[in-house]
Structure 1
Amino acid sequence: MSGEVSIAALTDSVADFIRDQGLDGVSTVGQSMGGRIVLELARRGVGGDTVALDPGGFWSHRELVVFGATLRPSIALVRALRGMLPALLSSPVGRTLLLAQLSARPWALSKETVLPDVRGLADSPATGAAMDALTKGPTQQGAPAGTPPGRVTIGWGRRDLVTVPKQAARAIELFPDAVLHWFERCGHFPQWDVPREAARLILDSTE
Structure 2
Amino acid sequence: MSDIQLASSRRGTGPPLVVIRQLDREGWVPVIDLLTREREVVAVDLPGFGDSPPLPDGTTPTVQALAAEVAKWFSTAGLTRPPVVGNSLGGAVALELARAGMVGAAVALSPIGLWAGPGAAYALGSLRIARTMAETLGHRTARVTRSPLGRTLTFWQLVSRPWRMTTEAADGALRSLARSPGFEATRRAARTYRLTGFTPDVPVTVAWGTRDLLTPRHQAHRANRLLPGARHVRLHGCGHSPMSDDPGRVCRLLLSTTG
Q: Counterpart of 1:177 in structure 2: which amino acid?
A: G
CA contact under 8 A between 1:53 and 1:154: conserved in structure 2?
yes
Deviation at 1:71, TM superposition (A): 2.5
**Where does 1:25-174 land on structure 2 (aligned, <5 Å)?**
25-135=81-191, 137-144=192-199, 147-148=200-201, 150-174=202-226
2: CA distance, partners of 1:114 / 1:46: 34
Determine helix, strand or coil for the equivalent of 1:52.
strand
Kindly provide the amino acid, as one letter, of the partner of residue 153 in structure 1: T
Structure 2 distance, partners of 1:21, 1:92, is: 40
CA distance in 1: counterparts of 2:183 and 2:221, whole angstroms: 28
Does 15-24 or 179-188 show the bigger shift? 15-24
Q: Give the distance between the partners of 2:84 and 2:137, measured in 1 at CA.
A: 33
State the AA in 2 paired with 1:167.
Q
Q: Is the partner of 1:83 in helix, strand or coil?
A: coil
CA contact (8 A) 1:52 1:155 kept: yes
- CA 1:21 to 1:69, structure 2 compared with 1: closer, same or farther past 3 Å? closer
> How far apart in 2 are the matches of 1:51 and 1:204?
11
Select the structure with the greater relative contact order (CA < 8 A; seq sep ≥ 6): 1
Partner of 1:180: 232
1:188-203 aligned within 5 A: 188-203=240-255
Aligned to 2:28: none
* Greater helix proportion: 1
Gapped regions of structure 1 (runs ≥ 5)? none
CA distance in 1, matches of 2:141, 2:235: 28
Provide the aligned C-alpha RMSD in A: 1.5
2:60–2:189 Cα contact (<8 Å) kept: no
Q: Which segment is superposed worse, 112-121 or 22-31?
A: 112-121
SS of the equivalent of 2:238 reads coil
Higher share of residues assigned strand: 2
Could you state the TM-score of these two structures normalised by the residue count of structure 1? 0.91
CA contact (8 A) 1:29 1:50 kept: yes
Q: Distance in 2 between matches of 1:196 and 1:112?
A: 20
Alpha-carbon offset, residue 89 of structure 1: 1.3
Q: CA deviation at 1:166?
A: 0.5
Question: What is the distance in 1 between the residues matched to 2:168 and 2:236?
Answer: 23
C-alpha deviation, 1:117, in angstroms? 2.5
Aligned residues with identical type, % of pairs: 35
**Number of matched pairs:** 203
Rounded Cα–Cα distance in structure 2 between residues aligned with 1:83 and 1:39: 35
For residues 66 and 135 of structure 2, the distance between their equivalents in structure 1, rounded to whole angstroms, comes to 24
